[in-house]
Each structure stands twice: as structure tokens, then as C-alpha cells.
């Protein structure tokens, strides 16, 4: 089975068809809740460490999502 990652500009769609974005986001949340999507978490940074988070990304150390916590 072949796999691919395809990128699209969601801002253009959101500007022209916000109902499409709404429907897609609801579906993603539902599939994530069901365990169909299991995002890989690379690392969590707090707001005070935002410079370290940028450095982490710039040095391409992440494999998965990088999360910023603001509180």
C-alpha cells in the first residue's frame, strides 16, 4: 500500500468555504477521539522556553508534533 502526504492551503478554503473547514475539523476530532489518528508527540515546551522550542525546530530535532503550553 502506498502512502503520501499532500498539503493544501486551508486558509484559502476557510475564506471561501468555512463550512468545509468546520466539517473537516469535526471529523478529525472525532477520528482522533476514536483512536484512528494517533499523532506522534515529539516534545512539549512552555512559553518561557519559546526560544528553545524554535531552536529545537530549526535544528530539525523533532519527529512528530511540537507543542507549546502557555500556562
pLDDT digits (tens, 9 = 90+) for 39-56: 899 999 999 999 999 999
The verdict on 50 and 71 lying in the same domain is yes
Residue 4 within a domain: no
Q: What is the pLDDT of residues 6-20, one digit of tens each?
A: 888 888 888 999 999
Would the pTM of this model clear 0.75, i.e. be above it? Answer: no
pLDDT-derived band at 57 (thresholds 50, 70, 90) equals very high
The verdict on 14 and 25 lying in the same domain is yes
Q: Find the mean pLDDT for residues 60-70.
A: 94
Which residues 6+ apart lie within 8 Å of 16 measured at CB?
A: none
The verdict on 55 and 43 lying in the same domain is yes
Whether residue 3 has pLDDT greater than 90: no
Domain that holds residue 61: 39-71
Amino acid at each position: 500500500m502506498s502512502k503520501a502526504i499532500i498539503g493544501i492551503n486551508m486558509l484559502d478554503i476557510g475564506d471561501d468555504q468555512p463550512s468545509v473547514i468546520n466539517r473537516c475539523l469535526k471529523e478529525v476530532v472525532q477520528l482522533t477521539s476514536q483512536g484512528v489518528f494517533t499523532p506522534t508527540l515529539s516534545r512539549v515546551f512552555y512559553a518561557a522556553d519559546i526560544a528553545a522550542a524554535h531552536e529545537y525546530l530549526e535544528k530539525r530535532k523533532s519527529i512528530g508534533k511540537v507543542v507549546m503550553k502557555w500556562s
